[in-house]
Amino acid sequence: ILRSMTSVLAPVLPHLAEEINAQSLDGATSKSFFAQKWEPLSTEWDDPQAEKDMGSLLMVRNTVLSLLENARGDKNLKSALEAKVTIAIPSDAIGTELIQLLRREGLASENLLKTLFIVSDVRLTDRGDRPAGAPEWSYSGSLKIPDSDAEITIRVEPATLRKCPRCWTFARTDEDELCQRCKDVGHSRDEVGGLDSEEG
């Protein structure tokens, strides 16, 4: 696994790849990690379903990025983290693969979608649902659902929460100093520190 990961990292982090090679791989006998023969990945890493899922998510991401660029071009935002994304799902498309994928990743605890889109929040709603009050600005687009006549509607609007000073996402309430995710990380570190102190 380490050799495979180092091969992936090497083109963008060559010095790190060389350090890993010297310390953990075959550095004692080889001149450079880049002088070694490229080893193709084992077939055990082949995952056609994961490849298909990521292709579908990247298709949605392209629409989101286009809307973010429109907002940036109109001087409505500087960073994508200043925005949130709402994906409106038509009721007759709930059973399609794309919608099931979006619901699975969007409702997961880590919410892969907001990481993939590089925004502060992603919400999935039924088509037609609109929050009370008009946002300062809004950009919307549609995307046809594969193997269906239905479309999802994607809206990009300003994030409604405050900026977290630690991670810079707009996910902090007025009453909190940090967003919930950063607070959880802080608590985890405190617990680990407490265990280290007890062992010492």
Kindly write down the DSSP assignment for every residue of the chain, as one continuous string: -HHHHHHHHTTT-HHHHHHHHHHHSSTTT-S-GGGSPPPPPPGGG--HHHHHHHHHHHHHHHHHHHHHHHHHHTTS-SSGGGEEEEEEE-GGGTTSHHHHHHHHHHSSTT-HHHHHHTSSEEEEEETT---SS--S--EEEEEEPTTSS-EEEEEEEE--SEEPTTT--EEE-TT-SS-HHHHHHHHHHHHHHHHHHHH-
Query: What pLDDT does residue 190 have?
Result: 59
Query: What pLDDT does residue 8 have?
Result: 84
Q: Could you tell me the pTM of the whole model?
A: 0.75
Burial status of residue 24 (CB atoms within 10 A of its CB: 0-12, 13-18, 19 or more):
exposed
Query: What pLDDT does residue 189 have?
Result: 60
Query: What pLDDT does residue 98 have?
Result: 94
Query: What pLDDT does residue 192 have?
Result: 46
Q: Which CATH superfamily is domain 48-160 in?
A: Class I aminoacyl-tRNA synthetases (RS) (3.30.2320.20)
Q: In whole angstroms, what is the distance from residue 171 CA to residue 121 CA?
A: 8
Question: Do 116 and 57 contact (CB within 8 A), yes or no?
Answer: yes
CA 40 to chain CA centroid, Å, is: 27
List per-block mean pLDDT (blocks of 10 residues) for the chain, which spans 200 residues: 84 91 67 80 85 95 97 95 94 91 82 92 80 83 92 95 92 87 76 49
Nearest alpha-carbon partner for 102 in 70, 68, 63: 63
